[in-house]
Structure 1
Amino acid sequence: MPKIAEIEYTPNPNAVKFQLKEPVAAGFPKAFRDAEMAEHDDLARALFAVGHVVSVFMQDKFITVTKDDGMGWTELLPKLAPPIRQAPSAAGATPEAPHWDRPEVDENDPLIQQIRKVLTDTILPALAADGGGLDIVGRHEKQVMIRYLGACGSCPSGLTGTLMAIEGILRKEVDPEIVVITV
């Protein structure tokens, strides 16, 4: 059972990161943008059932819950803790495929491979530290389309500073003409 090690507020005022002592996702992050997407995942379904939850993001040893404005964290956090504490650990589990819907991205595309390496090495660890992540959902020539996950999904800085930083890193490390947009 994952036990909560720490609860961290994120730069997104509507998202909180639960740092866990055991993993809840094996291999890939799990992103649930609504209750319907969560119907086949016991933990995500239980978190949405609490109410006021608008998205759930799980990666390794953390869960990020994003809420609506209908309830404050003081009232919501005590309701979210029991389902997390009761969830089984994913330690030793077989890695699962990603749980978000996205168009097919050609993983053999050399540009996509370069971008993924830069994302994995530099950008994703920084986003995960704040309870979020991103995925590439498409590419057209030198335009790369990303989708923010977790706390990054509705964070006000995701469309400004963070996006500009990601684009700047990719331009420096991969191609100076890359344009990054969110979808």
Structure 2
Amino acid sequence: MFIQTETTPNPATLKFLPGQTVLDRGTADFTESDAAAVSPLAARVFAVNGVTGVFLGSDFVTVTKTDAAQWDHIKPAILGAIMEHYQSGAPVMQGSVDVTGHADHAGEDEAIVTQIKELLDTRVRPAVAQDGGDITFHGFDRGVVYLHMQGACAGCPSSTMTLKMGIENLLRHYIPEVTEVRPIA
């Protein structure tokens, strides 16, 4: 098994490509090791000293490290953990775990929210996945779109620019009712 790695715009995050499917649908974001118990793959990666986050996408694993950890020191252990997981035959997720997606929204703004989600799914999420992250819809209130940033996007130095100059401009162009985009914690 050969696992490729790619840098991301976030210097604390690397993208690992195992060359096979990681998740059949959706994404899974683990920001602490206790939450990773539902994913044998994420739990193995969290066992590496210095790992603070694991994000699972369709064909990649994004790993975030502490500021003190050096990629040269922990990258081989992470590669080993991913390889061991796939050689073990264990599932990536145990049971029927709900993978992350857009928040539901009903009400008078439902048509606008449907357009927002469609633009996110077709224009934004594929581009963000290339950088090892994901952005999902969280809410819409009085012209403001609230988005949840995950994986390499969470804590990325360029995330504010991505939100304001990229996503906000895109949504405002196609949906005049959108006035602003804000991240949620």
TM-score, normalized by the shorter chain, greater than 0.5: yes
Cα distance in 2, alignment partners of residues 95 and 142 from structure 1 = 35
8 Å CA contact retained: 1:32, 1:99:
no
Cα distance in 1, alignment partners of residues 77 and 16 from structure 2 = 13
Deviation at 1:85, TM superposition (A): 1.1
Q: What residue is the counterpart of 1:127 in the other structure?
A: 128
Give the residue type in structure 2 aligned to 1:32. F
8 Å CA contact retained: 1:135, 1:147:
yes
Cα distance in 2, alignment partners of residues 105 and 71 from structure 1 = 38
Give matches, 1:1-183, under 5 Å. 3-88=1-86, 97-99=98-100, 104-106=103-105, 109-159=110-160, 161-164=161-164, 165-175=166-176, 177-183=178-184
Query: Which region of structure 1 is more displaced relative to structure 2, 105-114 or 16-25?
Result: 105-114
Cα distance in 2, alignment partners of residues 176 and 56 from structure 1 = 35
Share of identical aligned residues, percent?
A: 29
Q: Secondary structure at the match of 2:26?
A: coil
Distance 1:149 1:107, change over 3 A: farther
TM-score by length of 2: 0.86
TM-score by length of 1: 0.87
8 Å CA contact retained: 1:57, 1:150:
yes
Note the residue ranges of structure 2 that are not aligned, 5 or more in a row: none
8 Å CA contact retained: 1:107, 1:113:
no
Give the residue type in structure 1 aligned to 2:116. I
Cα distance in 2, alignment partners of residues 15 and 118 from structure 1 = 26
Distance 1:25 1:162, change over 3 A: same
Deviation at 1:36, TM superposition (A): 1.9
Q: CA-to-partner distance for each residue in 1:26-67, whole Å, 9 max, x for gaps?
A: 211111111122121111111111121111111111111011
Q: CA RMSD in A?
A: 2.4
